[in-house]
Structure 1
Amino acid sequence: MLSPFVPCPLTLHALASAGDPPQLLPAREQMAFTLGFHIILVPFGVALTSLMLIANYRGLRHGDHDALLLAQRWSKVAAVLFAVGAVTGTVLTFELGILWPGLMGRYGAAFGFPFAIEGIFFFLEAIFVSIYIYGWKRLPPWVHFWTGVPVALSSIGGAAAVVAANSWMNQPGGITVRNGHVVEVEPVAVFFNGAFWFETVHMLLAAYIVAGFMVAGVYAVGMLRGRRDHYHRVGFLTGFLVAAVALPVQIFVGDLVARQVFTKEPAKFAAIEMLPTTGTHVPETMGGILVDGRVKYGLQIPDMASLLAGFRPSTEIHGLDAIPEAVRPTDRGVSIVHLAFDVMVGTSFVLLGLAVWFGWLWWRRHEVPQNRWFLRGAALSGIVALVSLESGWVVTEVGRQPWTVVGYLLTRDAVTTQGNLWFFFAVVLALYLAVGSGVLLVLRSMKRRWREEGDASVNVPYGPSKPFAEARAGEERQS
Structure 2
Amino acid sequence: MSVHEVLAQMSDVAPTALASAEPAGLLPARQQMALSLGWHIIIACFGVAFPAIIFVMHLRGIRRGDQVALDLAKRWAKVSAVLFAIGAVSGTVLSFEMGLLWPGLMGTFGDVLGLPFAFEGLAFFLEAIFLGIYLYGWGRIPPKRHVLMVLPMAVTGVFGTYCVIAVNAWMNVPTGFRITDGEITDVEPWKVLFNGHAFMQFGHMWVGAYMVTGFAIAGVYAVGMLRGRRDRHHRLGFLVPFAFATIAALAQPFVGHFLGDGLADRQPSKLAAFELAETTGDGPSPLRLGGVLIDGEVKGALDIPYLGSIIAQSSFTEPVPGLDTVPVEDRPPVNITHLAFQTMVGIGLLLMLAVLLYWFMRWRGRDLLDHRWFLRCCATAGPLAAVALEAGWIATEVGRQPWIVYGVMRTAEAVGDYTARLWWVLGGSVLLYGAMTFGAAIVLRSMARRWRRGDSDLPSPYGPELVGTATGKGTDAGEERR
The TM-score, its normalising length taken from structure 1, stands at: 0.90
Say which SS state the counterpart of residue 186 (structure 2) adopts. Answer: strand
Deviations, residues 198-243 of structure 1 (Å, cap 9, x unaligned)? 1000000000111000000000011111111111111000110110
Say which SS state the counterpart of residue 287 (structure 1) adopts. Answer: strand
Question: 2 CA distance for matches of 1:233 and 1:455?
Answer: 19
Deviation at 1:19, TM superposition (A): 2.4
Does residue 1:375 correspond to 2:358, yes or no? no
The corresponding residue for 2:12 is none
Say which SS state the counterpart of residue 178 (structure 2) adopts. Answer: strand
Question: 1 CA distance for matches of 2:223 and 2:34?
Answer: 31
Deviates more, 1:122-131 or 1:111-120: 111-120
Say which SS state the counterpart of residue 227 (structure 1) adopts. Answer: coil
The corresponding residue for 1:71 is 73
The answer as to whether partners of 1:173 and 1:189 remain within 8 angstroms in 2 is: yes
Q: AA paired with 1:25?
A: L
Deviation at 1:419, TM superposition (A): 4.8
The answer as to whether partners of 1:128 and 1:148 remain within 8 angstroms in 2 is: yes
The answer as to whether partners of 1:362 and 1:369 remain within 8 angstroms in 2 is: no
The corresponding residue for 1:337 is 337
Question: 2 CA distance for matches of 1:120 and 1:358?
Answer: 41
Deviations, residues 103-155 of structure 1 (Å, cap 9, x unaligned)? 00111111232111111111110111111111112100011011111001110
Deviates more, 1:24-33 or 1:367-376: 367-376
Q: AA paired with 1:57?
A: L
Question: 2 CA distance for matches of 1:417 and 1:402?
Answer: 18
The corresponding residue for 1:306 is 309
Question: 2 CA distance for matches of 1:104 and 1:465?
Answer: 55
Say which SS state the counterpart of residue 289 (structure 1) adopts. Answer: strand
The corresponding residue for 2:435 is 434
Question: 2 CA distance for matches of 1:456 and 1:402?
Answer: 52
The answer as to whether partners of 1:36 and 1:390 remain within 8 angstroms in 2 is: yes
Q: CA RMSD in A?
A: 2.1
Does residue 1:348 correspond to 2:356, yes or no? no
Distance 1:456 1:422, change over 3 A: closer
Question: 2 CA distance for matches of 1:215 and 1:260?
Answer: 35
The corresponding residue for 2:321 is 318
The answer as to whether partners of 1:107 and 1:181 remain within 8 angstroms in 2 is: no
The answer as to whether partners of 1:270 and 1:276 remain within 8 angstroms in 2 is: yes
Distance 1:181 1:447, change over 3 A: farther
The answer as to whether partners of 1:172 and 1:193 remain within 8 angstroms in 2 is: no
**Residue of 268, 272, 277 corresponding to 1:275:** 277
**Residue of 295, 298, 309 corresponding to 2:298:** 295
Deviations, residues 375-418 of structure 1 (Å, cap 9, x unaligned)? 11111110111111001001110010000000110001110013
Say which SS state the counterpart of residue 161 (structure 2) adopts. Answer: helix
Say which SS state the counterpart of residue 317 (structure 1) adopts. Answer: coil
Deviations, residues 171-191 of structure 1 (Å, cap 9, x unaligned)? 001111223332221122111
Does residue 1:327 correspond to 2:330, yes or no? yes
Question: 2 CA distance for matches of 1:429 and 1:310?
Answer: 41
Question: 2 CA distance for matches of 1:452 and 1:180?
Answer: 66
Deviation at 1:272, TM superposition (A): 0.4
The answer as to whether partners of 1:106 and 1:180 remain within 8 angstroms in 2 is: no
Deviation at 1:436, TM superposition (A): 1.8
Say which SS state the counterpart of residue 418 (structure 2) adopts. Answer: coil
The corresponding residue for 1:235 is 237
Distance 1:314 1:367, change over 3 A: closer
The answer as to whether partners of 2:28 and 2:419 remain within 8 angstroms in 1 is: no
Q: AA paired with 2:365?
A: R
Deviations, residues 303-355 of structure 1 (Å, cap 9, x unaligned)? 111112333321132211111223223xxx11111111111111011111210
Q: AA paired with 1:422?
A: W
The corresponding residue for 2:463 is none
The answer as to whether partners of 1:285 and 1:299 remain within 8 angstroms in 2 is: yes
Question: 2 CA distance for matches of 1:177 and 1:393?
Answer: 29
The corresponding residue for 2:469 is 461
The answer as to whether partners of 2:23 and 2:417 remain within 8 angstroms in 1 is: yes
Aligned length in residues: 451
- Aligned pairs for 1:205-220 within 5 A: 205-220=207-222
The corresponding residue for 1:4 is none
Deviations, residues 231-266 of structure 1 (Å, cap 9, x unaligned)? 111100011011001111111111111223234221
Gaps of 5+ in 1: 1-16, 471-479
The corresponding residue for 1:247 is 249
The corresponding residue for 2:448 is 447
Question: 1 CA distance for matches of 2:287 and 2:104?
Answer: 38
The answer as to whether partners of 2:284 and 2:318 remain within 8 angstroms in 1 is: yes
The corresponding residue for 1:260 is 262
The answer as to whether partners of 1:63 and 1:464 remain within 8 angstroms in 2 is: no
Question: 1 CA distance for matches of 2:65 and 2:263?
Answer: 48
Gaps of 5+ in 2: 1-18, 459-465
Deviations, residues 48-85 of structure 1 (Å, cap 9, x unaligned)? 11111111000001111111001000101111111111
Q: AA paired with 2:309?
A: S
Q: AA paired with 1:361?
A: M
Question: 1 CA distance for matches of 2:457 and 2:89?
Answer: 32
The corresponding residue for 1:3 is none
Say which SS state the counterpart of residue 290 (structure 1) adopts. Answer: strand
Identity of aligned residues (%): 47
Q: Which runs of 4+ in 1 moved over 4 A?
A: 454-457
The corresponding residue for 1:477 is none
The corresponding residue for 2:24 is 22
Question: 2 CA distance for matches of 1:212 and 1:348?
Answer: 14
Say which SS state the counterpart of residue 125 (structure 2) adopts. Answer: helix
